[in-house]
């Protein structure tokens, strides 16, 4: 989302604005992704998610405010404002790189108990790519209708994402995947399932699914 606006704003500075924007955002994302790899086991997943979410929120709100103030419906950004937007975009990409950009894959690969790990990862990846596709297809139309308001719209979702991590995501630092069932057992009450063993509930769901598929397997083998 911010990539589109960065190309537009930097083009006011030089003709190679798109290239400059790609270098800045790509470089910031690369550096912060490696930084996340180095510090995630020291500070934990939740801390990086929260810090990254705060950086993303501040950058989005600031860009939206600048666009609303300076551009309006038919305005233009000065060179100073364009550089400021570029810096804010770098901050946004940095926040994304240390949190959702890298840890989104790490957490989803290690948070599920072994019994449902394959099914859980498949579902989360499918949902992630589905919403990525929908956002990519609707962003330009939303930008034309909402203008600078689109940054505040996505800022609300950053708040929702970060709040979800703060309230519901257990810390999995230094916890082997074999012990994830115990993590969900301990944290069961904090995500609305009462005192039930969530791992047991999910395992029973997988067992029911396998039992429902058993006749089909028998027919195929026959």
Kindly report, residue by residue over 133-158, the tens digit of the pLDDT.
998 898 888 888 888 888 899 999 99
Kindly report, residue by residue over 95-124, the tens digit of the pLDDT.
999 998 888 888 888 788 777 888 888 888
Interatomic CA distance for residues 109 and 121, integer angstroms: 6
> What total number of domains does the chain contain?
1
| 1-5, 31-35, 143-147, range with the lowest pLDDT | 1-5
Interatomic CA distance for residues 24 and 74, integer angstroms: 27
Residue 125, domain extent: 2-171
The CATH number of residue 48's host domain is: 1.20.1250.20
Residue 46 neighbours by CB under 8 Å, 6+ apart: 165, 166, 169, 171
CA-angle at 121, arms to 28 and 125, nearest 5°? 50
CA-to-CA separations, 132 to 137, 139, 161, in angstroms, rounded:
9, 10, 15
Does the residue 147 lie in any domain?
yes
Does the residue 54 lie in any domain?
yes
User: pTM for this structure?
Assistant: 0.72
Give residue 24's pLDDT.
Answer: 77
Does the residue 217 lie in any domain?
no
């Amino acid at each position: 989302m911010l990539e589109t606006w960065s190309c537009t704003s930097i083009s006011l500075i030089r003709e190679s604005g798109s290239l400059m924007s790609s270098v800045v955002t790509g470089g910031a994302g690369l550096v912060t992704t490696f930084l996340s790899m180095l510090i995630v086991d020291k500070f934990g997943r939740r801390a990086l998610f929260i810090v990254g979410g705060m950086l993303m929120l501040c950058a989005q709100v600031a860009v939206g405010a600048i666009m609303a103030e300076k551009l309006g419906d038919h305005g233009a950004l000065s060179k100073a404002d364009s550089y400021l937007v570029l810096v804010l975009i770098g901050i946004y990409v940095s926040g994304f790189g240390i949190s959702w950009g890298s840890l989104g894959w790490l957490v989803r690969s290690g948070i599920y108990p072994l019994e449902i790990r394959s099914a859980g990862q498949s579902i989360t990846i499918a949902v992630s790519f589905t919403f990525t596709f929908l956002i990519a297809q609707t962003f330009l139309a939303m930008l034309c209708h909402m203008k600078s308001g689109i940054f505040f719209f996505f800022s609300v979702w950053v708040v929702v994402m970060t709040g979800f991590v703060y309230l519901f995501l257990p810390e999995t630092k230094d916890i082997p995947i074999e012990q994830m069932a115990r993590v969900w057992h301990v944290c069961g009450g904090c995500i609305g399932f009462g005192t039930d063993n969530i791992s047991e509930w999910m395992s029973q769901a997988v067992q029911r699914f396998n039992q429902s598929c058993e006749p089909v397997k028998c027919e195929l083998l026959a």
